[in-house]
Amino acid sequence: MKSLRTIALKEAQNRVSPEVKAPSNRISEFFGVNVFDKKKMKDFLSKEVFEKLVSAIDQGELINHEDANQIATAMKSWAMGKGATHYTHWFQPLTGTTAEKHDAFFEPSSDGAIEKFAGSALVQQEPDASSFPNGGIRNTFEARGYTAWDPSSPAFIMESKAGKTLCIPTVFVSYTGEALDYKAPLLKALAAMDKAAVDVCQYFDKSITKVNASLGIEQEYFLVDLALHNARPDLALTGRALFGHMSAKGQQLEDHYFGSIPERVFTYMVDFENEALKLGIPLKTRHNEVAPSQFECAPIYEEINLAIDHNQLLMDLMEKVALRHNFKVLLHEKPYAGINGSGKHNNWSLITDTGKNLLAPGKTPKNNLMFLTFFVNTVKAVHEHADLLRASIASVSNDHRLGANEAPPAIISIFLGQQLNEVLDEIEHSRISKKIKEDNALWLGIPKIPQILLDNTDRNRTSPFAFTGNKFELRAVGSSANSSAPMTVLNAIVADQLTKFKVDVDKLIKKGEKKDIALLTVIKKYIKESKDIRFEGNGYSQEWADEAERRGLANIKTTPLALDAYVSEKSTELFTKTNIFSKRELHARHEILLENYYKKLQIEARVIGEVSNSMIIPAVIAYQNSLIENAKGLKDLGVSADIPTGIINKLTEHLTIVKNSVDAMLEARKQVNAVEDTREKAIGYDEKVKSHFDNIRYHADKLEQIVDDSVWPLPKFRELLFMK
């Protein structure tokens, strides 16, 4: 019988890409055609309801029942006009993927059948909450949960060959109101940010009434041929190769980054981009990444809530469209040991309703004080809550990246660039002159910040959180993550910090200090207090790990420990004060994240056991048998059998270790499974089960290098990574 690997290799070699055709040569002609955006709302709604909906979108105003009915009818007409037969509430449960439950517009009635979509069905639905992760919330309360319409993210039509579905972005909460998803807390954090930032903006510009956080998400991913992927149970079940010796050629020649995109991949990219553009996802950039078969795409930044919905939708599209091209897209943070992993850089800034980016240095000193206010408060917030930011990016898959000398380290620090560092140092050490009367003279104390920063492009790639000219870039987010988790935290901590800032400044003003001097005094104090979080050097180096330890910065390498920050006293205070999470919600979330961690390790451990026992060991034994035959034959001829005997011994040596370690891992798993406490269990999985993985793999990979290539069952790294 031919092995799956052989069949897969043959299939992969004979791929023909499907025909891909854009709806038009001009993207502007089909951009957003599948979105119920403001322009379409205007066409389908009365003027009055349209205006109410716009203020619901922009200001968060509530929509009454009657208006909801009109909006639902409008959505239905638009969607049916485009061929949709069903609708669904689209939400982001804590499983990490998106969820949908489709209902037909169609309803039988006494005289035949009609298509219906009531306002109540638009506004709220009740999916069964008990089948989604809920961290124990449903056990003590009602099992029900409901999804509720988020008007700030427009409805859209998902197309597939068999039909079209109207999707309505929603939050997902328990019947008692606790968030069971990623979106609800994000929206709360954004509201907190809006309020805090607008309040602080009043010091500078009274016309500002709204501050939106913006996000541009760079998405890295790997592609692998579908047949080869399916011939590897580890890739298929866990998203990463649990075995596999690095191919002789990896990324050492650095010949992939920004290289020309292979034709088959290019066709795929154009295909999913077209689908994304139709859904209003403003994709702009595509290129090869550092590792072979690794790529990146990035849209233009948008308001955070929308940017994250778009990223979730994009990941979904990428996976679906890949299948049409006989590709599998790997969004895992580290599919292949030995080459770079994948991240999801989160570019974040704050933008006012007057169109000002609060993190862009201004032309005039006055603008610079405004910039410095938001800039320094961000630095201070990260300094205060670095542990929480670390927790927000923690996952079993991101653990492979953080601190592995190719991604940001597990130590949270901020890179500012030389110029801004100097500016902050100068402010820290200068004296604020209070004597000077005229307004202008004060500004002499503020160093000039050129609008275009020199080192804007000369970026430190090793920093987890870097200032890049007019935005901060959080690089530590994993490629498969929902950005809501880190963005909820980032906006929450900065909002909280801005609120404290206002209190501190107002105190000084009350004491009779001039406003600008009060602002500068507090900024100076914050610069001093948050100094330790700033680091400009090589984040991958051991020197930094040592230095960070001296500074008292945390370096937490594993998820179960990193997650503690979610339930610390400090975080609980922050989240309850800002109304983002209740204590109960925090504990539920903590529990869910820990469960997710150990369950994924449990699956990996099972796959390692199964592949070792049923694929690797039998292949080794088969080869060993042929060597035994060979040795016997040689002996019969009176010729030396040293070579086959030597190989047989080597095989036996590695085989023994693989078998014994797999057995030991199984024992450890049984022990840890008996642990009741979720946190202890997660730690147990890390320390007692996962600790076997590397050893098993090391010896299995040695065997891969010795065993006859034609009997090796798993597609090898060179085949996975260099198929074109």
Q: Which amino acid, one-letter code, is at 636? A: D
Binding residues among 12-71 for ligand ADP as defined by CB under 6 A = none
Q: By CB under 6 A, tell whether 300 contacts ligand ADP.
A: yes
* Minimum gap (Å) between residue 459 Cβ and Mg ion: 8
* Minimum gap (Å) between residue 347 Cβ and Mg ion: 7
* Minimum gap (Å) between residue 406 Cβ and ligand ADP: 16
694 membership: H or E segment, kind and range: helix 690-706
Binding residues among 469-528 for ligand ADP as defined by CB under 6 A = 470-471
- Terminal-to-terminal C-alpha distance of the chain: 27
Handedness of CA 46, 47, 52, 57 (dihedral sign): positive
Q: CA 47: distance to chain centroid?
A: 39
197 membership: H or E segment, kind and range: helix 183-201
CA angle 63-65-70, nearest 5°? Answer: 85
CA pair distance 142, 175, nearest whole angstrom: 6
Residues recorded for the chain: 724
* Minimum gap (Å) between residue 322 Cβ and ligand ADP: 22
Q: Which is nearer to Mg ion, 298 or 592 (CB)?
A: 298
Strand partners for 35: 156
* Minimum gap (Å) between residue 468 Cβ and Mg ion: 7
What are the CB-based long-range contacts (under 8 Å, 24+) for 501-510?
Answer: 501/200, 501/373, 501/377, 501/526, 502/196, 502/199, 502/200, 505/203
Asked if 149 contacts 122 with a C-beta cutoff of 8 angstroms, the reply is: yes
CA pair distance 571, 77, nearest whole angstrom: 46
Of these, 64, 209, 285, 405, which contacts ligand ADP (CB under 6 A)?
A: 285
Q: Which is nearer to Mg ion, 332 or 345 (CB)?
A: 345
Of these, 345, 383, 385, 590, which contacts Mg ion (CB under 5 A)?
A: 345
Q: Which is nearer to Mg ion, 240 or 345 (CB)?
A: 345
Residue identified by tokens 């201070």 is 380
Q: Which is nearer to ligand ADP, 256 or 716 (CB)?
A: 256
Largest CA distance in the chain: 107
- x/- string (CB under 6 A) for ligand ADP, residues 74-113? ----------------------------------------
Asked if 432 contacts 524 with a C-beta cutoff of 8 angstroms, the reply is: yes
Stretch that binds ligand ADP, among 292-300, 379-387, 421-429, 600-608 (CB under 6 A): 292-300
- Residue 485 touches which of ligand ADP, Mg ion, none (Cβ within 5-8 Å per kind): none
* Minimum gap (Å) between residue 219 Cβ and Mg ion: 11
* Minimum gap (Å) between residue 588 Cβ and ligand ADP: 31
Strand partners for 163: 160
Stretch that binds ligand ADP, among 137-145, 296-304, 427-435, 655-663 (CB under 6 A): 296-304
- x/- string (CB under 6 A) for ligand ADP, residues 204-223? ----------xxx-x-----
Count of residues near ligand ADP by CB under 6 A: 16
What is the three-state SS of 319-365? Answer: HHHHHHCCEEEECCCCCCCCCCCCECCEEEEEEECCCCECCCCCCCH
Q: Which is nearer to Mg ion, 165 or 463 (CB)?
A: 463
Stretch that binds Mg ion, among 251-259, 338-346, 484-492, 537-545 (CB under 5 A): 338-346
Closest-CA residue to 100 (of 118, 120, 127): 127
CA pair distance 620, 710, nearest whole angstrom: 12
Q: By CB under 5 A, tell whether 256 contacts Mg ion.
A: no
Of these, 74, 298, 683, 689, which contacts ligand ADP (CB under 6 A)?
A: 298
- Residue 285 touches which of Mg ion, ligand ADP, none (Cβ within 5-8 Å per kind): ligand ADP
Q: Which is nearer to Mg ion, 5 or 345 (CB)?
A: 345
- x/- string (CB under 6 A) for ligand ADP, residues 234-273? ----------------------------------------
* Minimum gap (Å) between residue 147 Cβ and Mg ion: 33
Count of residues near Mg ion by CB under 5 A: 1
Q: Which is nearer to ligand ADP, 131 or 285 (CB)?
A: 285
Strand partners for 224: 328
Handedness of CA 103, 105, 108, 110 (dihedral sign): positive
Q: By CB under 6 A, tell whether 347 contacts ligand ADP.
A: yes
Q: By CB under 5 A, tell whether 471 contacts Mg ion.
A: no
Could you write out the DSSP letters of every residue in 29-85? HHTTTTB--HHHHHHHS-HHHHHHHHHHHHH-----HHHHHHHHHHHHHHHHHTTEE
Q: By CB under 6 A, tell whether 451 contacts ligand ADP.
A: no
Q: Which is nearer to ligand ADP, 214 or 661 (CB)?
A: 214
Strand partners for 168: 89
Stretch that binds Mg ion, among 146-154, 339-347, 369-377, 593-601 (CB under 5 A): 339-347
* Minimum gap (Å) between residue 175 Cβ and Mg ion: 41
Give 218: exposed, middle or buried? Use CB within 10 Å, 0-12, 13-18, 19+: buried
What single-letter DSSP state applies at residue 130? G
- Residue 346 touches which of Mg ion, ligand ADP, none (Cβ within 5-8 Å per kind): none
What are the CB-based long-range contacts (under 8 Å, 24+) for 136-143?
Answer: 136/587, 136/588, 136/591, 137/174, 137/176, 137/178, 137/180, 137/584, 137/585, 137/588, 138/174, 141/174, 141/175, 141/176, 142/174, 142/175, 142/176, 143/175
CA pair distance 541, 463, nearest whole angstrom: 11
CA pair distance 382, 717, nearest whole angstrom: 39
Asked if 149 contacts 121 with a C-beta cutoff of 8 angstroms, the reply is: no
Q: Which runs of E-coded beta strand occur in 563-665? A: none
Q: Which is nearer to ligand ADP, 113 or 300 (CB)?
A: 300
Which residue lies nearest Mg ion, judged by its C-beta? 345
- Residue 212 touches which of Mg ion, ligand ADP, none (Cβ within 5-8 Å per kind): none
What's the order of all strands across the beta sheet hosting 414-415? 302-303, 211-217, 346-352, 472-474, 465-467, 414-415
* Minimum gap (Å) between residue 574 Cβ and ligand ADP: 24
Stretch that binds ligand ADP, among 160-168, 196-204, 346-354, 480-488 (CB under 6 A): 346-354
* Minimum gap (Å) between residue 420 Cβ and Mg ion: 18
Stretch that binds Mg ion, among 276-284, 309-317, 340-348, 594-602 (CB under 5 A): 340-348
Q: Which is nearer to Mg ion, 235 or 476 (CB)?
A: 476
* Residues forming the site for ligand ADP (CB under 6 A): 214-216, 218, 285, 298-301, 345, 347-349, 357, 470-471
Binding residues for Mg ion, rule: CB under 5 A, are: 345
